[in-house]
A and B are shown apart, each in its own frame.
Chain A
Amino acid sequence: MELFINQVLAGIATGAIYACMALAVVMIYQAIDHLNFAQGEMAMFSTFISWQLMQWGVPYWWAFLLTLAFSFAGGILIERLLFKPLAKAPLLTNVAGFIALFAIVNSVAGLTWDFTIKQYPTPFGSSPFLGSQLISTHQAGMIGVTIGLLILLYIFFQFTRIGLAMRAAASLPESARLVGINTSWMIALGWGMATAIGAIAGMLIAPVVFLEPNMMGGVLIYGFAAAVLGGLTSPLGAVVGGFLVGVFENLAGTYIPGVGNELKLPIALALIITVLVLKPAGLFGRPIVKRV
């Protein structure tokens, strides 16, 4: 029983990473109806920016805020320059665009900061949390930040005019335009916010997985899986999905013989596909009603 509780706790701790990433994925999916394959690389780049700022002597929280501002602006810039012109192009062309962006960001980061592994500081400290050996204060902080972020997003989308406008632009763009919402800028805003959330995810993950250009590869897959599991239309679903994936992955690795570390990812993905086959819109997603 103790082993079980320990594994669940450790799963929740890694789940917080996935939840953060999934939140960013859902943000951008809401805005533009695409999965952004370059999301992880963008988060990695933001994390490197904050690291560079700290190398230059900027204190942690200032670097954190500056990076958020930079990422927000960067996200909007990428949308304006690269993806706005592609808005009318076929969906698959857009996906190719994301892959191209992935290659560019990864390569530029590799050339600027090289591929050696770097330490990244944590603002919460790394001592054990409340005497537990499995979950450190950093991981507890991560869970706290993820939940805080979720509450902020909820307030933003539920109670602010601009949040309402963004939701309107996402669900019925033509009608939203008719009531005077600038849908094009709402999409850009979605990109900005998603990039900023990705940056938070990156900065929280970096102390755990260490900083290097390929650090997000695995995390993004789990982030996608979590987002799809929770339902791509629901930020709450993304967070719950993230924690579920983390816990399941740990339990499968412990209790299913022959899984070990190698097969953890395939098993987690297999679970998600099973869930999707039973409930195609994800756990918290709205089922999409089709009409001819």
Chain B
Amino acid sequence: MSTIEQQESDETEAETETETAVESPGDRRRREKAERAVEDEARREAEEAAHEFDEAVELKVFRYDPEVQGKEEPRFDDFTVPFHKGMTVLDALIYSRDHYDSSLTFRHSCRQAVCGSDALFINGRQRLACKTQIADLDGDTIRVEPLPHQEVVKDLVVDMEHFYEQMHAVEPYFDPDELPDDEMEEQRQSRENREKIKMSTRCIWCGACMSSCNIAAGDNEYLGPAAINKAYRFAMDEREGENRKQERLRIVEQEHGVWRCQTQFSCTEVCPKDIPLTEHIQELKRESVKNNLKFW
């Protein structure tokens, strides 16, 4: 059963239960627990307000949970976090979760800007929480929200499915026209060619670029900067060969491909891996023009 089917069937079950208005013991306990959770939180907030730190930062965090009473309406929670040098926004989120509210939900894993799971909207800009030093942010309050233009699952977690689909749409795998006869023989690649694709291979699939892009926000089918960059990574790899390159160009030339890009540079500005995304998109535009001229 797919996730969506599963959700639907869960919803149906939920409906039937409301109709008959019989609360199962499990539901009752869970409801009571939710109520207690709300009370606990209020108490924690009070404790927190009473607490004074030498130096602290105020975190204003977006909260939303579709199924927990008191959290279905999006709101912001404030957390006061003691500050020390070197601390990142991710550290502050973890502190808030472990000390104030264990239900605070966000993705994270590597803490070193390689897993791409904690791209968030911090003080109005897409950033990796683990790579953002609190000391580098202006103002006394840090505002943390989920990535814009993505569906929010809960608190700071967004649904990445659409992003993954766009990545998969460009056939994101190496597919050379031919391989060396001897299977222990490497394919040769010049240093220059490796240098050319180097930046494009650094993408960690964080989704920051897609979230910052106005075009992607308005056109759900637009491949988006990350996927186009992925296409660039292979189209420019000399080991794949000319035939495959033509096919790759055909994919990015389609209606919702490179030509949608209006060179606003927002993707390039937010990319935590400094990938020159706009430049890569422009280069694919040029390649595809050259390509089409050849056919005319």
Q: Do A and B bind each other?
A: no
**Chain A contact residues, CB within 8 Å of chain B:** none
